[in-house]
């Protein structure tokens, strides 16, 4: 009877841990602004399989976790560390990753605005440069 209790207890704990791992994978994927399709393609799996990991329907194997972490630019400790370390470290890492993701999105938006040739997105310049010499005219005072 003791063996059965032990198995049930381990199964419940494992299921809870698997659910938390899937949720952490989703969080880090979203922080990277990556779609399920894009990450799944890079991993060589279907987006449905990745969705099952994230929705906590399937367990993430150790090898799959390592590949997922490599594609997300994190270490397995970012996902598993909260189970072993003080939660403060995991929270700090999560906050830093979020700040980096926000900055990356802002930088991409700025780059896109300046790459666009549309005059409405370009800031107006009071002095235009000579297109032949690529120099600005001398300022007279």
- Residues shown for the chain: 141
Distance CA 10, CA 13 (A): 5
Distance CA 83, CA 17 (A): 8
Hey, what CATH class is 2-115 in?
Answer: mainly alpha
Please check whether residue 68 is in contact with residue 39, taking contact to mean a CB–CB distance below 8 angstroms: yes
H helix and E strand count, the chain: 6, 0
- pLDDT of 6: 45
- pLDDT of 16: 80
Instruction: For the chain, give every domain's residue range.
Output: 2-115
Mean pLDDT by 10 residues, the chain (141 residues): 50 72 89 90 93 88 93 87 64 72 83 69 54 60 54
């Amino acid at each position: 009877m003791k063996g059965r209790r032990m198995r049930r207890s381990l199964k419940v704990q494992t299921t809870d841990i698997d659910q938390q791992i899937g949720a952490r994978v989703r969080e880090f994927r979203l922080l990277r602004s990556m779609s399920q399709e894009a990450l799944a393609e890079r991993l060589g799996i279907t987006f449905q399989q990745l969705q099952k990991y994230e929705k906590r329907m399937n367990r993430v194997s150790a090898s799959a976790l390592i590949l997922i972490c490599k594609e997300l630019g994190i270490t397995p400790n970012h996902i598993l560390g909260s189970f072993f370390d003080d939660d403060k470290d995991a929270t700090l890492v999560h906050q830093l990753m979020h700040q980096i993701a926000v900055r990356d999105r802002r930088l991409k938006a700025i780059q896109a605005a300046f790459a666009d040739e549309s005059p409405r997105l370009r800031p107006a310049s009071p002095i235009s440069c000579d297109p032949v010499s690529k120099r600005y005219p001398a300022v007279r005072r």
